[in-house]
Chains A and B, each alone.
Chain A
Amino acid sequence: MGTMYEILATRLREGRGVLLDGPMGSELVRRGIRWRKHGLLTDAPAVQQLHEEYARAGADVLRTNTFQLNPRVYLNVFRNVQHMRHIGAPGLEDLVPHLYRSSVQLARQARAKAGKESSVAIAGVLSPLEHCFRPDLVPGEEGLRREHEALARILKEEGADFLLLESMNTIREARAALAAGRAAGLPVWVSFVLGPEGDLLGRELLGEAAKEMERGGAEAILVNCAPPEDLSLAVDRLKKATSLPVGAFAMAGRFSPPSWKFDFFPQFVETDEWPPARYVEQAKRWRERGATIVGGCCGTGPGHTAALRRLLGNGGRG
């Protein structure tokens, strides 16, 4: 286990707060970045800049810009792989590993530029292989294991300190991705996207999911990608189900999808309803209910990160 993660684990063990950064996708789009290949090819400086802003705002963890990025994102818009080779841009088949490498490098460079190499950890982000809001599309076991393992290995090789499984919508995929992360030798945090009922989007019970992840060797259980008011109840449910550290990061505003399928276009509207001060009021409740890890999901930005830092205090950070 890397030294950087040890520092984080110690902080968690001692019950001190840990601050996750905010989102990459929705904030890059808000800044006018054209959403293609997650901006990793055409707008790498903007990606790095945003990581750096989160680090300077006081985040303890920077997440790689890999949410909803995997080979299926591109393959799914072709008839099949032969069609992709026939009419697709050259190199499309091998693009994702390259993007994953860039994503870790950009987060690491940003951490160095912010002068936080000894205090900030890099979380390699994995998410559902199909659309994170569509539990009905979760692939079969064999694909889950093979595809998550391949991505986890790259994140590990490039120097991610641990793995964050984000917006997982079923126990089945979370279990497979957790095993893949552990096989790659990385500590794993698992975060579930909440449905409107307050359990997993795939309708499984949040408490059951937490217990299953604890058995599978997860180091922390979180909930994300739901409106801020929804997360307090979720934190209660997690605390009842597990002795592992628990965390929460909410969305601000409302998801405004593109008309086409393509890759998940992370555009959020009405985010003004959740300015940092109001968001932090909710985060305070998650903390009171026992959440150790807090951060921001879609629609939040570095302003929210800075406000959350003030909520957590310096917490004995170096």
Chain B
Amino acid sequence: MSYEAIRGALAARRTVVLDGGIGTEILRRNVTWADHQLASKPEFVRGIHEDYIRAGADVISTNSFQLCRRALYNHFRDEAHRRHIGARDLDQRADRLLAASVRLAIDGRDRAGATGRVAVAASVTTLEWCFRPDLAPNPSQAREEYREIFGVVKDAGADLVLLETVNSVGEAAVATEVARGLGLPCWVAFVPDEGGRLFSGETLAQAVAALEPLGVDAILLNCAPPDDITAGMKELAPRARVPIGTYAHIGRFNPPEWMFTDEYPPDKYREESARWKAMGAAILGGCCGTTPDHIAALASLR
């Protein structure tokens, strides 16, 4: 299993490079995002995975941000309403696309000749909107939904789960427990605010204390501007015993799309990442707005 190579690198204190943005890279290449393009343009999505591998990524993440049953069902009043006016495939769509996203990343890895060297991380986000801890479902409901999601990605062949853009300790703990229970390696990435806290108001110290006993494999920070990632690293680095990592977003969120800016060209993003590495980050990558060029720049930090 490809995660063993990654586990080995982390144990030997070698830097592991994670890929960059997928959703935003789809937009940057002037393709609309709406349905993840998993059904309509699979070769195009796979091409982005291959580009990240060629840029030097050791771990690539699936194109599955917010791809879950709940995100689709939220558009209807209830089941009766969904059945009455909804598309007929909605019961199966999330699982089908999620599995497709994993298979596509594996296919991209194999085509890039990186089998055994590059691990495929199933990207899974909070069940409700990633920036809204107030919407999170209760733990027993969350457990049931994560069981379904992680079961699908495991069956499809993911090497690990990357639970990303997480906003609360509670949801992270439930998900970690489920993933480890299924035998899946589990990385958890939190969004830090300007003060280095979670969006729920909890601290990274609390997150570390909750997740390490559950067997989390790494704790990361993502989807915040570089300065906020630095603020989070000040909290995370002194407390974590598991490997830690960083992947910031660059540019601005312009819903439902992304605004690309030239504030952090690859060289400058590399400098930020070098600082996080000096603070203790073992996993370096890019979130929204980063490109294969940014990942290529990080590869030289290994």
Contacts and interface: CB of A to CB of B under 8 A. Distances in A.
Interface in B244-258: 249, 252-257
B209 interface: no
Contact of B199 (A76, A79, A88, A136): A79
B264 interface: no
Contact of A265 (B34, B68, B80): B34
Contacts of A135: 77
A258 interface: yes
Interface string B73-90: 011110011011111101
Contact of B75 (A34, A136, A257): A257
Interface stretch (A11-19, A214-222, A248-256, A287-295): A248-256
Contacts of B80: 195-196
A260 B259 contact: no
A196 B79 CA distance: 10
Contacts of A77: 129, 131, 253, 255-256
A79 B197 CA distance: 13
A258 B131 contact: no
A31 interface: no
Contacts of B249: 87
A264 B74 CA distance: 11
Interface string B125-145: 000010111000000000000
Interface in A226-258: 226-227, 251, 254-258
B255 A262 contact: yes
A1 interface: no
Contacts of A269: 87
Contact of B254 (A88, A195, A256, A257): A88
Given A78-B131, A88-B252, A259-B67, A254 B72 contact: no
A317 interface: no
B75 A87 contact: no
Contact of B36 (A226, A251, A259): A259
A274 interface: no
A134 interface: yes
Nearest to A251: B85
Contacts of A259: 35-36, 66-68, 71-72, 94, 97
Contact of A263 (B35, B76, B94, B256): B256
B129 to A, nearest CB: 5
B99 interface: no
Interface string A56-81: 00000000000000000110111100
Interface residues of A, number: 42
Nearest to A263: B256
A134 B66 CA distance: 19
A164 to B, nearest CB: 21
Contact of B85 (A78, A90, A255): A255
Nearest to B194: A86
A260 B86 contact: no
A260 B252 contact: no
Nearest to B75: A257
Interface string A190-231: 000001100001000000000000000000000000110000
Given A35-B32, A87-B224, A87-B225, A195 B77 contact: yes
A35 B33 CA distance: 9
A36 interface: yes
Main secondary structure of the interface of B (DSSP, over half): loop
Contacts of B133: 79
A33 to B, nearest CB: 9
A195 B81 contact: yes
Contact of A255 (B71, B75, B224, B256): B75
Nearest to B76: A133
B71 A256 contact: no
B75 A263 contact: no
Interface in A118-167: 131, 133-136
Nearest to B34: A258
A261 interface: yes
A34 B252 CA distance: 19
B132 A201 contact: no
Interface in A34-63: 34-36
A36 B257 contact: yes
Nearest to B93: A259
A83 interface: yes
Interface string B180-218: 000000000000011000010000000000000000000
A36 B34 CA distance: 10
B72 to A, nearest CB: 6
Given A87-B252, A195-B77, A260-B66, A79 B85 contact: no
Nearest to A258: B34
Contacts of A201: 77, 81
B254 A79 contact: no
B86 A255 contact: yes
Contacts of A88: 252-255
Nearest to A88: B253
A269 B34 CA distance: 14
Contact of B259 (A89, A263, A265, A270): A89
5 contacts: A83-B131, A88-B253, A134-B74, A195-B80, A259-B36
Closest 8 CB pairs of A and B: A89-B254, A256-B87, A257-B75, A262-B256, A196-B84, A89-B259, A89-B252, A34-B32
